[in-house]
Amino acid sequence: MPRVLLIEDDLRLGAMVSAYLGDAGFAVAQAPDAAAGLAALRPDAAEPVDLVLLDLMLPDADGLDLCRRIRAGSNVPIVMVTARGDTADRIVGLELGADDYLPKPFEPRELLARIRAVLRRRAGEPAAVGAAASDVLRFGRLEIDRGAREVRVDGQVRALTGHQFALLLAMAERAGRVLTREQLMAAVRNEPLEAYDRSIDVHVGRIRAAIEDDPKQPRRVITVRGAGYVFAKSQDAG
């Protein structure tokens, strides 16, 4: 049974979310503040956590800072849930390593769908129909390992979140094709891209920082102005 850690100081909302996710087959542990959340995520904690639902407005810490602290020591998937719907907060959260963002108020069904999508990506389900049979895609010095959910450059593992790995894989499986932001969002989350949602751009920036020799002059993940992105099949350094 997947275990979700809900870091949320609104006990009434926490009870509602716990009940709904419990009916859907999840075990939910609640933490009313950042300190309790960090304690539940310690390596020696009694129960491992498969996903964190993180509120940004906590009584003892800013949720964005907590996201940074969690990501510094763990690759556990993080879905931010907050009444702070500012686009800047969402972008900062994604830059800090969150896998998804859901503003309050939200429909429980949407929350459940997002949790399941994040966990599917982490479990290594294919990002798209028709993927190549090989577990490892190789592009010169770059390797994308589906089975291990790893990205390697010159044999060195590069850190990506589950969402970023799925996004890179979706582009690599369609190498040479220009993909719009809408197509990329649908490939990795099966949801339409929200108007003015720049999360794809944020994730692409993080991917470039991980795999490009010079992220400011990318030669693998290329921006096509007015269209989207294309994954280059080859590059000079490859």
- Say how far residue 79 (Cα) sits from the centre of its chain: 8
Fold of 136-231: Arc Repressor Mutant, subunit A (1.10.10)
pLDDT at site 171: 92
* Stretch (H or E) spanning 123: helix 108-123
Mean pLDDT of the chain: 84
Q: Is 50 exceeded by the pLDDT of residue 192?
A: no
| 3-123 and 136-231 agree in CATH topology | no
Written as six digits, the tokens of 203 are 């994730």
User: 228-231 and 150-153 as β-strands: parallel, antiparallel, unpaired?
Assistant: unpaired
pLDDT tens digits, 203-222: 899 999 999 999 999 999 99
pLDDT at 124: 55
Note the residue count of the chain.
238
User: Can you give the pLDDT at residue 8?
Assistant: 94
Q: Kindly state the average pLDDT of the residues 88-101.
A: 79
- pLDDT tens readout for residues 49-77: 999 999 988 999 998 999 989 988 888 99
In the structure, what pLDDT confidence band is assigned to residue 189 with cuts at 50, 70 and 90? Answer: low
* 187-201: average pLDDT: 61
Q: Quick one: tokens of 202? A: 């944020």
* Residue 16 φ/ψ region, left for φ over 0, alpha for ψ in the -120 to 50 degree band, beta for the rest: alpha
- The answer on pLDDT for 187 being more than 80 is no
CATH architecture observed for domain 3-123? 3-Layer(aba) Sandwich (3.40)
Q: Would you list the domain boundaries of the chain?
A: 3-123, 136-231
Distance CA 65, CA 165 (A): 23
pLDDT for 35: 95
Q: What is the mean pLDDT of residues 211-234?
A: 91
Of 87 and 61, the structure prediction assigns the larger pLDDT to: 61
Q: At what angle do helices 181-189 and 162-172 cross, to 10 degrees?
A: 120
In this predicted model, what pLDDT tens digit does every residue of 115-141 receive, in sequence order?
988 888 766 544 443 333 357 888 888
Distance of alpha carbon 86 from alpha carbon 47, whole angstroms: 34
What confidence score (pLDDT) does residue 130 get?
A: 37
Q: What is the pLDDT of residue 34?
A: 95
Residues 6+ apart with CB under 8 A from 80: 54, 55, 56, 63, 67, 90, 93, 98, 100, 101, 102
